[in-house]
Structure 1
Amino acid sequence: MVFNIRDNDNRRVKTDYPRSIEKWKHVWIPMSDGAKLAATIWIPEDAHDNPVPALLEYLPYRKNDFTAIRDSARHPYFAGHGYASIRVDIRGTGDSDGVLLDEYLKQEQDDCLEVLDWIQEQPWSTGSVGMFGKSWGGFNSLQVAARKHPALKTIITLCSTDDRYADDVHYRGGNIMGQDMLWWASTMFAYNARPQDPTVVGDNWKTNWLDRLNTRPFVESWLSHQRRDDYWKHGSVSEEYTDVDIPVFAVSGWQDGYTDAVFRMLENLPNAKGLIGPWAHEFPEVAIPEPAIGFLQECLRWWDQWLKGIDTGIKEEPQLLSWIQDSELPEVTYEQRPGKWVADQTWPSTNVTNQSFWLSDGKLVQHVTDEEKTVISGMQEHGYYAGVFCPFGQPGDLPADQRLENGKSVIFTSDPLGETIELLGKPVFHADLSTDQENAILAVRLCDKAPTGESTLISWGMLNLTHRDSHEFPEPLEPGKRYNVEIGLDVLGQQIPAGHCLEVSVAPTYWPQAWPSPKPVTLSLYSGAETHLDLPVRTPQRKDASWQEHFERPEISEIMEREIIREEERTRDLIHDTINDAWTLYDYSDEGQRRLPENGMEYGSINKNTYTIKGNDPLSAKATCEWDLTVGRGAWQTRLKTYSEMTSDEETFYLTNTMTAFENEEEIFNKTWQKNIPRDHV
């Protein structure tokens, strides 16, 4: 997970602004319980005489080092245009007091409400505040908006979710995310253990560091809640959409893991607009694939409208602007995705209609067929070429040519399309099926097959079939009994050219995206009226042409000076041990090491993840994640090494997490947490 700024000749670096700015470092925001939160504030120099609205980004990722480069790209930009742009470390992270015990706790929200109180009371503040953020900051912007603080007038939420159970890195379709559940937990296990800066907080840093090192791994809580219970309902604004009644700008990209949430927010939030580009999990002014856009200018239009009362035209614009991607041959990394911008006045859109395809005898056809039975045996290694769930734009993140997967599932292929179609929205797969086990997965892939044979993954979905009726109250399957189930695939904005074919893949396995069922599964799929794929086909509009030049050239602030100590490196290697029929994916990411001359901080990280399984043995699934983090300055250097492991048998999950900490290369802490957690319908 790299927080950096990519070089881009198309980007304009701004150094002159309408208002001169100051940067206030190490600002302390007091909490009612005596704790202090650490903040950096960029603000117009004359704000005491001419008060300004405030913008808040509230994150656990360390403002003084780990996100300092990315913060420098946009916070000064907002300040130069007449805002106090505030970056706060969440309690237990960076230089803020305390420890962070889990994601999105009520404490996190309560603290944020006190931050909003504090902003209102400042002499430089007009009392109007907007929140923004990507990922964690996008999540808590939504969650705090639901708390209805009177100062919070609007939010911009990027790459976020409204449903913490159904649409995040822990569970999808009731399945444990085999590649992400442990990885993200291991990430926060390591991140949370980094110390405060002694030059900022004083001698107490060491006591606080030992407290942070003793924080239990989040994965133990996440895996203890395998169904959609109150643990996941907390922080999910989908529980009561009407609580978020302020204007919301929801932003994502087709490569992001959270694009579905934009569509749900447009449908359910009373004052929401959406933007979806071709991007990975990143801000659109710096993201790949290109085209990047002048997103900071769009943010200013949004802030000016809702925080300054300036009519910027935002209110009259369509509810959704999205990038329809041209068909491309499969690549594990795209620098660009050709396509076009389209506008839909409302969502759901009157420009989108449903088109159905039925499955029969290896074909996708546009008419109901006679019933026939297709037997599908699970191959445990199916899914290794799926790419990562939530790409950050690193090399190798994306799915490979799906011909590498197709022999491990059953494929249904359409005839070549007679005319080009454009898809926008959520495909839905309906299946009439039975299984030979009480616990089973259904995984569906949708691909664009070129006339030359290459198969590009354009959408996918999966369902734990014990969750067919409810994520809150799962029920075992009755072997041999037929069920009608529905799977929503990931939303997409995709052109399929004439002459190309559509492919649908069906399988009862998808490792490492989904943790395997406890026993090998044979799935029976019955064709006929109930088994079909619904596709959202968008009719092109003449007005679409007027949106192609809507966005300005990307602008950012001048990036803070940084020195590269160690360059980044990324590899993803899949090894098949043919003698033992064992498959192992090695995912290695050296995110480099940097030094910031502004404060002398040095920081770096290396992450190694391994996902292993043997053919026809779901209980051989094993995930391991390792981190090696460094933070220091001069003669003060700290290092963290972590190891996390997850395995299972038919009844139980087994977790091991080990933390080792060093101060100036001397080991000062070593602890292992082990926990066994019963399987609950997974």
Structure 2
Amino acid sequence: MRWLAAGLAAALAVAGTGVAGQAVPVPPPTLTPAEVPASFGHYQPPRRYHEQVTHSFYVTLRDGTRVAMLVARPAQGGQPVEDRFPVIWHHSLSATQQPADGVGSRAAGFVTMPNLTDHGYVVVQVARRGNGQSFGTMRGYHDRNEAHDAYELIEWLARQPWSNGNVGQYGCSNTGDAAAHAMSVNAPHLKAVFAGCFSWNKYDAMRRGGIFAQWGTGPTRTIAQDMAVRPVDSDPDKVLLRLAAEQHQRAVPLFEVWKALPYRDSFSPQLQSPFWAEGSASSYRPQMVQGGVPLYVVGGWRDELRDQGLIAQANIPGARILIGDWLHCENDGFALVEEAHRFFDRHLKGIDTGIDRDDPIHYVVVGPNAWRSSKVWPLPDARPTPFALTARGLVEGVFTGAALRRDFAVDYAVNCEKSGFGPTMQPCHNPGNGWSIAGPPLTAAAEYTGHGVADLWIAADTPDANLFLYVEDVAPDGTVRVITEGRLKASLRRTAEAPWILPGGYPWHRAFAEDAQPLQPGQPARLQFDLMPTSWTFQPGHRVQLTLAGSDWRERARDPQAQPRTITILSDRDHPSSVVLPLIRQGGSGAGRPVATLRRAQPVTAADQSARVTR
């Protein structure tokens, strides 16, 4: 990508500066240590400013495409402070942070990042081409056009009179992906990235196990929906917004693109690209490592991209990660912006915030809801513990007898909303759906932290079958909670060595078209696959349960060749089926270190908001 550097920087034409009046360049401020205790979850330097001014406008890119930008600057007396500040930007779906952009309206989360103007930052929102107020047509999802746009925009932001040249980027979900791709083009002025809930590899995230059962398929908006977005300041009558909205409609819906790409090496006729590779951050790992941009990853144990964050952390040297008991891009009261502030102060202002002395991995153990930290993942004390499927039930240890053969019907009408879960990207336990096998009540608490692995033998009467496995916690009163999951399309069961680091070295499937192995009717086939990572505590008296199903409510386009009426599970001496779970028993010495009680995020008050001046 370096060959682009000089050309892209020179090609950028600017349609507006975003500055009210002429800024007076001044040297960057002298950096001093933060005036508060610096530790994970506790970072509150005093606010330097209490006002903010914003201005939105268009910037013209190298190919003539105009993208919308909103710049928020520290202010005093209703006027922007004429100083040079570090810049933090967000490559979003609109310049005005709509709820559908991926960050949503979550308290103290990514959506409140613009409040860092109070601490001497300029915070910028840019609508990606083909989205929001920007012109252009989206080509797939995170193609190289967007990455090259990021290079231009980073270098443009570094040159502005209100910028000191140090640029950071943040995002979550689709904007987290955009931030990861910005790391792949080695923009000289990109100094730090804070990204949540993004995909390391698009195929493994969007067709996990080769199955199209990912809840979301990206933005698809009508002209009316686009016209509801607030226009840039110079377009009060929405004339330009209308023209941009019409260009957006030329995009191929992502559902149609992904549905046509069943294999990792599938070629997209709509996009004229092997798009799983083009759109994956993993394809540019050498460039990301070469660039050396510090990365801080945010994830959630109830987000279906949680494994992707841990893989990214393992593959980018020096990367950090925090994972809470959160859904997608949520943080449930955790002071997330304070942690982002601590990260950006270290890398954009050179302040010793203590972050370099922290363990790189912070995670919460669900149950006690205790934060822990670790230098490594998997945890040294998380012992791979096999559970054999037998006719006597789920038995801890290797298979020793009691052969099992069980047929179960596949319910293609399963719906999580009937179970009260709703569209949260999560699986659910529907009594009677699939087949469940449980172990005896636990006599002592057991912590499950890490990645599990399934090693199962199945048979079906169709050329293919989708197998879903849910690991569940059964309470003494019979309440069942799904704590993690795994899945695999039977025809893509051939394993291979992953081209990147997998924390724990669990099975990986290349899933090229030539790797497909159809099932033979009635013949056993071995399926080995990983389970999504989590950290959960099984309490005494609870039971570990596995539920196997042939369908999931999140499936978006079922393969007619993979719809058996029944699936057979086998477990005997020749076909021993088991699931290995990473368990830490009471008294384990290698578990993550406890983290001090964290301060909950403080809401922004109405008085604070009213002090901000919007222009």
Instruction: Give the TM-score normalised by the residue count of structure 1.
Output: 0.70
Which one of the candidate residues 529, 535, 559 is aligned to 1:487? 529
Aligned to 1:376: 407
CA RMSD of aligned residues (A): 3.5
Q: Offset of 1:444 from its aligned partner?
A: 0.9
- Deviation, 1:538, is 3.2
The match for 2:209 is: 173
1:166 match: secondary structure: helix
Distance 1:127 1:515 in 2: 47
Equivalent residue number for residue 409 of structure 1: 434
Task: Check if 1:63 corresponds to 2:96.
Answer: yes
CA deviation after TM superposition for structure 1 residue 323, in Å: 0.9
1:321 aligns with 2:357: no
**Deviation by residue 1:297-332 (Cα, 9 ceiling, x = unmatched):** 111111111111212121221121111111xxxxxx
Corresponding residue SS for 1:263? helix
**Matched-pair identity in %:** 22
Distance, in Å, in 2 between the alignment partners of 1:224 and 1:398 is 24
Q: Could you tell me whether the CA contact under 8 Å between 2:458 and 2:567 is conserved in 1? A: yes
Assess, with a 3 A threshold, how the Cα gap between structure 1 residues 347 and 557 changes in structure 2: closer, same or farther: same
Is residue 2:313 matched to residue 1:266?
yes
Distance 2:482 2:135 in 1: 45
**379-388 or 267-276, larger mean C-alpha shift:** 379-388
In the alignment, which residue of structure 2 is the partner of 1:146? 184
- 1:293 is displaced (CA, Å) by 1.4
What are the ranges of 5 or more consecutive residues in structure 2 without an aligned counterpart? 1-40, 266-273, 495-509
Letter of the 1:302 partner, please give it.
Answer: F
The answer for the alignment partner of 2:584 in structure 1 is 538
Distance 1:280 1:446 in 2: 18
Equivalent position of 2:52 in the other structure? 22
CA–CA distance in structure 2, aligned partners of residues 505 and 462 of structure 1: 12
Q: Is the 8 A contact 2:456 2:528 kept in 1?
A: yes
2:395 maps to 1:347 = no
Aligned partners of 2:219, 2:161: CA distance in 1, in Å?
A: 41
Residue identity opposite 2:364 in structure 1? W
- What's 1:449 paired with? 474
Higher strand share: 1
Counterpart CA distance in 1 for 2:244 and 2:424 is: 38
Whether 2:80 is the aligned partner of 1:34: answer no
**AA matched with 1:236:** S
State the distance in 2 between where 1:293 and 1:185 align. 28
Distance 1:161 1:397 in 2: 15
Give secondary structure in 1 for the equivalent of 2:245: helix
Contact 1:380 1:516 in 2 (8 A): no
Aligned to 2:171: 133
| Higher relative contact order (Cα pairs below 8 Å, separated by 6+ residues) | 2
Q: How many Å separate the matches in 1 of 2:90 and 2:232?
A: 24
Give the deviation of 1:558 after TM superposition. Answer: 4.8
Partner of 2:258, secondary structure, is: helix
SS in 1 for 2:204: coil
TM-superposed CA distance for 1:178, in Å, is 7.2
The amino acid across from 1:509 in the alignment is S
**CA distance in 2 between partners of 1:548 and 1:395 (Å):** 34
Deviation of 1:277 (Å) = 0.7
Please state if 1:301 is matched with 2:342: yes
What is the deviation of 1:174?
Answer: 0.7
Structure number with higher helix proportion: 2
Q: Aligned partners of 1:224, 1:388: CA distance in 2, in Å?
A: 31
Amino acid of the residue matched to residue 405 of structure 2? T
CA distance in 2 between partners of 1:34 and 1:341 (Å): 48
Aligned with residue 276 of structure 1, among 294, 312, 323 = 323
Report if the CA contact (8 A) 1:237-1:243 is conserved.
Answer: no
3-state SS, counterpart of residue 416 of structure 2? coil
Query: CA separation in 2, counterparts of 1:209 and 1:561?
Result: 34
2: distance between equivalents of 1:190 and 1:531? 53
Aligned to 2:512: 472
SS at match of 1:200: coil
Q: Does 1:197 align with 2:231?
A: yes
Provide the C-alpha distance between the structure 1 equivalents of 2:521 and 2:352, rounded to a whole number of angstroms. Answer: 61
**Residue 164 (structure 1) shift:** 0.8
Q: 2:387 is aligned with what amino acid?
A: F
Q: Which amino acid aligns with 2:287?
A: D
Closer/same/farther in 2, CA of residues 317 and 122 from structure 1, 3 Å limit = same
> Kindly tell me: are residues 369 and 190 of structure 1, through their superposed partners in 2, closer, same or farther at Cα, counting changes over 3 Å?
farther
CA distance in 1, matches of 2:303, 2:362: 16
Equivalent in the alignment of 1:508: 550
- Match in the other structure for 2:595: 547
2:571 is aligned to 527
Q: CA 1:65–1:531 in structure 2 vs 1: closer, same or farther (change >3 Å)?
A: closer
Change (3 A) 1:84 1:556: farther
How far apart are residue 80 of structure 1 and its match? 1.3
State the Cα distance separating 1:357 from its structure 2 match.
0.6
The one-letter code of the counterpart of 1:471 is A
**1:27–1:343 distance in 2 versus 1, CA, 3 Å:** same
1:358 aligns with 2:358: no
Whole-angstrom CA distance in 2 between matches of 1:317 and 1:240: 28
**Cα distance between partner residues in 1 of 2:113 and 2:294:** 21
Question: How many corresponding residue pairs?
Answer: 528
- Residue aligning to 1:630: none
| Map of 1:220 onto structure 2 | 256
CA distance in 1, matches of 2:198, 2:188: 23
Question: Does structure 1 retain, via aligned residues, the 8 Å contact 2:110–2:336?
Answer: no
